[in-house]
Amino acid sequence: MPVLAASPSPRNHRSYFIALGLIIALAAAEILATLIHFSAKARAERAATPTTTLAPMASRSAAPPAPSALSTPVSSPIPPSSPTLSASERLLREARALNERGDTANALARLQEASQRDPKNPQVLAEMATIYESIQLFDRSNETWRKIQELGPSAGTLYELADMKLKTGVPAVTANSPEQTITDTAGTPLDNEGIPEGSNFGVTDIATEETPDPEAETNLRLKIAIKARPGVPIDHSKLRIMVLFYDLVDNEKVVPTDADVSYEWMNPKHDWIETNPETLIVTYLRSKTRAGTSEAALSAAAAAVTPGKNSPKPRKRAESNSDSLPSDPGRRKYLGYVIRIFYNDKLQTVRAEPTHLLNDAPNPSP
């Protein structure tokens, strides 16, 4: 039996293609709409980006005025003299460095500026007077020493030094002088006996001996030859010898030593009758493991070196001082010494090594 196949009519073909075209057109329109939407959103974000980045910048730029309003009450409690004092110390250090290099002109310029900032600083004035002496401007040096003298005892040992300078005077050295006048550390001229003019005692020699010691950081001795003026009666009760050692903390700060210090006369009698000069031996011992001596104890020991009385005996290394104080923080090392001899409460002579300790060293305790 024959089978008849139904063939699609031309109308059905057109409907199919029309429907397919509409679907494709709608899909394309949807895709295009999506692209337009995201493109517009991206443009809006790019347009909004400068606004969002400038907002925090504006807030940050507006922040500084708030602290500036608080800066006035914070800075007001600072004393106005603090910058002046620190500037004076800086100028004084610069002047000393320049003077050590031989540049006295610029050193004096720094000191004059420091004196204008702090006119009552005895260390600045003493440094200036010393430089004036070194270049033989004695009128100016005496004028500067007089300023220190006018400060009174508040200038400490520099007041005594200025008083001695003005009493003894500094003779001018002419250009035809065959040699420079010999003086002690304070600049006081020495006579043929090696004693400062107008004094009864002087130091004729100082020998420093350092002893190798595995248990000590520093172990040294000073042998100080002290000479009395021949033919002058000596009252032992009126003679006082001060030998003060100083350390350097962290290569910057000058402080009285906390090492063990002991005194001993080479001649037990030390009366300047059988022997003249007499030799005083002073030992500086910084042990690697020991407590330090307080500044007050050192000053008391130094003041106790009086001829005719028992001299302090060296302490054992294991002993510690009951009145010891905590040491300054930082690394200490030996710097030098200052020797002062008083007779009848009048300064006879001064020796220092290095010489700048006369100005740098703290005043000893009374």
Beta bridge partners of 359: none
CA–CA dist 127, 350 (Å, integer):
16
Cβ atoms < 10 Å from Cβ of 241: 23
How are the residues of the chain apportioned to helix, strand and coil, as percentages rounded to the nearest 5?
45, 20, 35
Kindly state the average pLDDT of the residues 58-62: 41
DSSP-assigned letter for residue 148:
H
Residue 2 φ/ψ, nearest 5 degrees = -70, 140
List Cβ neighbours of 66 (8 Å cut-off, separation of 6 or more): none
Q: Does residue 129 surpass a pLDDT of 70?
A: yes
Kindly state the average pLDDT of the residues 37-61: 54
Measured in residues, the chain has a length of: 366
What strands, in cross-sheet order, belong to the sheet with 346-353?
A: 253-256, 239-249, 332-343, 346-353
Question: Which has more pLDDT, 292 or 147?
Answer: 147
Kindly state the average pLDDT of the residues 95-111: 83
Domain spans of the chain, in order of start: 84-168, 201-360
Report the pLDDT value the prediction gives residue 275, as an integer from 0 to 100. Answer: 82
- Selected from 1.25.40.10, 1.10.357.10, 1.10.3720.10, 1.10.10.10, the CATH number assigned to the domain covering 84-168 reads 1.25.40.10
Q: Does residue 6 surpass a pLDDT of 60?
A: no
**DSSP SS3 for 183:** strand
- For 90-94, 218-222, 326-330, which range has the lowest pLDDT when averaged over its residues? 326-330
- Calculated CA dihedral for residues 21, 27, 32, 38, nearest 10 degrees: 180
pLDDT of 228-256, one tens digit each?
998 888 888 899 999 999 998 888 788 99
Q: Does residue 131 surpass a pLDDT of 90?
A: no
What is the average pLDDT value for the chain, to the nearest integer?
74
Res. 222 pLDDT band, cuts 50 70 90: very high
